[in-house]
Amino acid sequence: MGVSFRPLAKKLFIKTYGCQMNVYDSARMAELLAPLGYAATEDAGDADMVILNTCHIREKASEKVFSELGRLRAGRRESGRDVIVAVAGCVAQAEGAEIIRRAPEVDIVLGPQTYHRLPELVARAARAHAAKAAQPGAARRGAGLLDTEFPAESKFDSLTVAETSPVSAFLAVQEGCDKFCTFCVVPYTRGAEFSRPVAQVVAEARALAAGGAREITLLGQNVNAYHGEAPDGSTWGLARLIRELADREPDLLRIRYTTSHPRDMDDDLIAAHREVPTLMPFLHLPVQSGSDRVLEAMNRQHGADLFRRVVARLRDARSDLVLSSDFIVGFPGETAADFAATLDLVRETGFAMAYSFKYSPRPGTPAAVLPAQVPEAEKDARLAALQDLLNMQQRDFNRATVGKVVPVLLEKPGRREGQLVGRTPYAQAVHVEAGESMLGRMVEARIEDLGRFSLKGSMESIPFAAAPTALEVRA
C-alpha cells in the first residue's frame, strides 16, 4: 500500500496597511504562497508566516512597522513558534536593509516590484530556519533576505487570481507615477509609470468575473494615465480599456477606477462617463488644495481652474456624477487665505466625501526641506475645520438618499445573521436584510435610515432572473 503525503497546511497572516493597491498586492502574495501550502489566517498568533505589507505615504509609517515587529517578537517568544517574517510594500522599499539592521529577526524584506519572487525567498528562509533548528543555541536571527530591486521582468507576468473572487474585486492596471508631486513618496517607492498590456488586464477581469466578481475597480497610482499595449500593437488609454471590459464582460455589472489625476481626465474618459452605463457615477479625483499658489508649490501640474473645468465637463457628461477627493492641509507656506480657498473649492464642488490629511514631511521629497513649514497646531486647526465641512457635506449627501430607491450590489455578509452589506452606485454602504444566497446580486433597495457609518435599506425588488447579469439596472 502506498503512502500518500498531504502538503503540510501552514498558516499565513498578512497585515495590510495603506491603499487599495496594497490590498490588491496582499491578495496576490497570498495566491503566490498557496502552492507552498500556505492558507490564510486572521490570527497572527496562529501563523507560520507573517507578512507586513506596509505603507510609507504619511508619517510614523516606519515606526508603526517596527512596533508591530516588536509585538510579533514578544508573541513568538511566548509561544515558542517558529515563524517566517516578511516586510513588504513601500516601507520595505524605502528602508531596505535598515529594517534587518533594526529588527534582525526579519527573514525577508521585499519591495512592491519584487513580490513575485516571494515563493523562492520563502523557500530560502525556510531552509535557513531548518539549518538553525539543527544547531541548538544558535541566535534567533532571521534569514536576512533583501529584494528591493526594480527588476526588468514584470511581476504581473507571474501573478494569478484565486478561483473565487470577492463580489467587488480590485484589478491593478497601472502602477507607479511620473508626476513627482513635491510631497509624495510614490514615484520613489513604486517607481516609474507602468501600464499592463490590455490582453493581460482583460484575461484577469474575465478570471475575476468567472470567480464571482460583479464589480471591478481598476487600480493605479495614476490610473487615468493608463496607456497599455493593445493586441494590434496600438496603445489604449483608460477609456478604451473600460469600453472593452464593459462590452466583453457582461458579468461585470459595475466598473470603477481609482486613483485619478485631474490632468489626465481626457476627452475620451469624460465621454465614457456619458456612454458606458456600467461605469459608476462616482469618481475619486484628488485635488489636494484649492489654492493655485499651493498647487504650484506642490508641482501638481494643474490649478484650481483646471480642476473646476474638468468637473464641469464630467457633470455635463453625467449629471448625477458624485465626487470624492484627497486634501492636504498645512503644506509648507500655506497661508490662512490659501486654506480658505480650499474650503471654498470644497463647498463649490460639493464633494460627497473626501480624505484629508495634515502635511507630513517625507524624507527625500522636495517639500520636506522647504522653509515655512506650518506649525503643528495650525495644521490641527485647519484639518479640524476642513473635516467639519466635509463631514457636513457627507451627511447632507447621505440624508438626501433617504426615501429613494437605488440599485444596490450585495457584496458581503453584514455583522448580523441574515444581513448583507451592499453599495449604491455612489459607493455608499447599505445594510439590507437578505440571505447569503443573494450575495453578488443587484437589487433595488429603498434607503430607510442613516446609520453611523452606513445606510439602512430594505429590498424593494429582487431580480426575477436567476443570474444577476440579467438585471436591468435602473439608471
- Tell me the number of residues near ligand SF4 by CB under 6 A: 10
* CB-based contact 420:413 (threshold 8 Å): yes
| Residue selected from 170, 183, 257, 339 as contacting ligand 5AD according to rule CB under 6 A | 183
Using rule CB under 6 A, residue 326 touches ligand 5AD:
yes
Cell numbers 507576468 correspond to 157
Footprint (CB under 6 A) of ligand 5AD, residues 249-288:
286, 288
Decide whether 197 or 361 has the Cβ nearer to ligand 5AD: 361
Using rule CB under 6 A, residue 357 touches ligand 5AD:
yes
Decide whether 381 or 405 has the Cβ nearer to ligand 5AD: 381
| Sign of the torsion angle spanned by Cα atoms 299, 305, 306, 312 | positive
Give min distance, CB of 91 to ligand SF4, in A.
Answer: 16
Q: Which residues lie closer than 8 Å to 187 by C-beta, 6 or more apart?
A: 176, 177, 178, 179, 180
Q: Among ligand 5AD, ligand SF4, none, what binds residue 12 when CB lies within 5 to 8 Å by partner kind?
A: none
| Residue selected from 47, 69, 87, 184 as contacting ligand 5AD according to rule CB under 6 A | 184
| Residue selected from 15, 34, 40, 58 as contacting ligand 5AD according to rule CB under 6 A | 58
| Residue selected from 53, 291, 360, 428 as contacting ligand 5AD according to rule CB under 6 A | 360
Using rule CB under 6 A, residue 179 touches ligand SF4:
yes
Span from 94-102, 117-125, 232-240, 355-363 in contact with ligand 5AD (CB under 6 A):
355-363
Q: Among ligand SF4, ligand 5AD, none, what binds residue 54 when CB lies within 5 to 8 Å by partner kind?
A: none
Closest CA to 92 of 49, 142, 54: 54
Decide whether 119 or 303 has the Cβ nearer to ligand SF4: 303
Give min distance, CB of 141 to ligand SF4, in A.
Answer: 36
* CB-based contact 411:423 (threshold 8 Å): yes
| Sign of the torsion angle spanned by Cα atoms 135, 137, 140, 146 | negative
Footprint (CB under 6 A) of ligand SF4, residues 256-285:
261
Give min distance, CB of 67 to ligand 5AD, in A.
Answer: 20
Using rule CB under 6 A, residue 180 touches ligand SF4:
yes
Give min distance, CB of 18 to ligand SF4, in A.
Answer: 12
The residues that touch ligand 5AD, with contacts defined as CB under 6 A, are 57-58, 183-184, 286, 288, 326, 328, 357, 359-360, 362
